[in-house]
Chains A and B, each alone.
Chain A
Amino acid sequence: MLAVVGYFEPWWIQILKAILIFAVGLQLVPVVLLAERKLLGRFQSRYGPNRVGPYGALQPLADILKLLTKEQSRPTTSVGLLFAIAPLISILTAVAAFAIIPFGDTQDIFGTKVGLYGIDVSIGPLYVFALGGIAFYGIMLGGWSSGSKYSFLGAMRGAAQLISYEVSQGLALVGVVITAQTLSLTGIVTAQKGMWYFIPQFFGFLVFLVAGFAETNRAPFDVTEADAELVGGYNTEYGGGGFASYYFAEYLNVLVVSGIVTTIFLGGWLMPFGIHPPGWVDPIVVLFKMSLITFLFIWIRATLPRLRYDQLMSFGWKVLLPLATVNTLVTAIVVVAVH
């Protein structure tokens, strides 16, 4: 499963990287949380949170503290064990998916070569889809074990939505994989030296982005949560820590999708116009590109209303899937014709 790595990575570096990635992910989530609330405010001509700390900077801390100090409760109809572990599945898959986002090329640190990513799997995108598939259990089990009809409906919608959009998302990536001739994410990044893939694979980029919105259950595809009709969807019955876990996983998923889009379509740590900065700039470049995509996520949320459920389904199957298929076919034909 591991890619053929041309260097030796000692075990303690692996552990350090695992801890570092989890810590970085944990630090990025409150930033995204605050950024979302501030930006949503600005998109609606208001300030957003600005009371807790300077410019509201401590607002996420206050939110999290509030949620964690709340009383733990669950409905009498719920299934205890599953109700408890469902949010953990969501968090686990989100953090695990974060591990494969490459933040830079291999660097020389303390005399050893270290890749700035958790793990460089030879099946890159498949790993993401596998974890996305498991993440669905977090939502599904959470909704079902709550023993509430709203949660259950939200979970069912989540299941249908995930199946519909993961197909197009996968197909959108096939075009990239054909062009790059590799499934390794670092390989895909280095294959973009000449031109970032969002230009030749523009339709693939669009389909992947739209499907990414659906995969993370973000507006305008947040029918799983649809507050207006489902109260809160799969997390209706959750409060306190469980709800915080789902919240954390949702925003981490936004970051993961931003990271994947950055890696696959926006050239990862590469700079435009062939600029080659020193190695330590790479993570900053990746984080900057990720923040652009995250901004797009928030911008879209501030703009587009939630889709009706049947519109969501027909859009996924009748528009995105044919588009992704045609994109794959055309890419394959072009690649064969050129070689």
Chain B
Amino acid sequence: MSDTPPKAEQATPDTTALKVEGWNPGDDVIEVVRSPDPGPGRATWRTFRETARGLLTTFGRFTETPVTVEYPEEKTPVYPRFRGRHKLHRFEDSGLEKCVGCSLCAAACPADCIRVVAAENTPENRVSAGERYAAVYEINLSRCIFCGYCEVACPFDAITMGHDYELSDYDRSDLIFTKEMLLAEPLERTPLRNEGE
């Protein structure tokens, strides 16, 4: 590419064909490098051969089974680190919520879609393992960008990104997920990709 200007000098492209009255392209002539003219016989042969090659290629696809994933019946499995819908977690032994209402996730969220209102735990009403708990925990999934910063910011691993990706709904207000919805197990499990799949 870099040796194009000297090459143009050596080859001196035939500019006579470009001579048009009142128009002088000057040195700004690009030499078009074409493959050698195959001649009529070879060109015909090439046309037929390439057409046949194309037809054979499509026929090869015809004999194969289609690669389509028939989505609603058949779902693409996700990788283990796939960032889907969030989940809130409880301690398995005591059943207490891991979230202590510190709002670090809300602070980390670049889309500003998490709302946390904290309240004190009392001996009569003990919700979380810490001093306080999240009385309100809402994620507006219509704003969430699934960056996973909330998961990173959480000091107690109380919120993690799940594997659900079927989140469409008919109403925007239905996309605001409350604490109960986030704590519950998803209705349908998303298939997880196996090792090496």
Contacts and interface: CB of A to CB of B under 8 A. Distances in A.
B51 A304 contact: yes
Contacts of A44: 61
A302 interface: yes
Contact of B58 (A46, A47, A50, A302): A302
Contacts of A41: 66
Interface in B5-54: 51, 54
Secondary structure of the B side of the interface? Answer: helix
A41 B68 CA distance: 10
A303 interface: yes
A219 to B, nearest CB: 12
A41 B59 CA distance: 12
A184 B59 CA distance: 36
Contact of A43 (B62, B67, B70): B62
A300 interface: yes
Contact of A303 (B57, B66, B67, B70): B57
Interface string B66-99: 1110100000000000000000000000000000
Contact of A299 (B58, B67, B68, B70): B58
Contact of B54 (A39, A42, A50, A304): A304
A304 B53 CA distance: 11
B64 interface: yes
B57 A42 contact: no
A61 B64 CA distance: 28
A217 B180 CA distance: 61
Contacts of A50: 70
Contacts of B67: 45-46
Given A43-B61, A45-B61, A299 B55 contact: yes
Nearest to A319: B44
B66 A300 contact: no
Interface string A37-80: 00101111111001000000000000000000000000000000
Contact of B55 (A39, A45, A300): A300
A303 B68 contact: no
B66 A47 contact: yes
With most chain B CB atoms within 10 A of its CB, the pick from A41, A44, A45, A304 is: A45
23 contacts: A41-B66, A42-B61, A42-B62, A42-B66, A43-B58, A43-B61, A43-B62, A45-B61, A45-B66, A45-B67, A45-B68, A47-B66, A47-B70, A50-B70, A299-B55, A299-B58, A299-B62, A300-B55, A302-B58, A303-B51, A303-B54, A303-B58, A304-B51
Please give me the 5 A-B residue pairs with the lowest Cβ-Cβ distance, nearest first.
Answer: A303-B58, A46-B68, A43-B58, A303-B54, A46-B66
Interface of B: 51, 54-55, 57-59, 61-62, 64, 66-68, 70
Given A41-B66, A45-B61, A47-B70, 10 more contacts: A43-B58, A43-B59, A43-B61, A44-B61, A45-B66, A299-B55, A299-B62, A303-B55, A304-B51, A304-B54
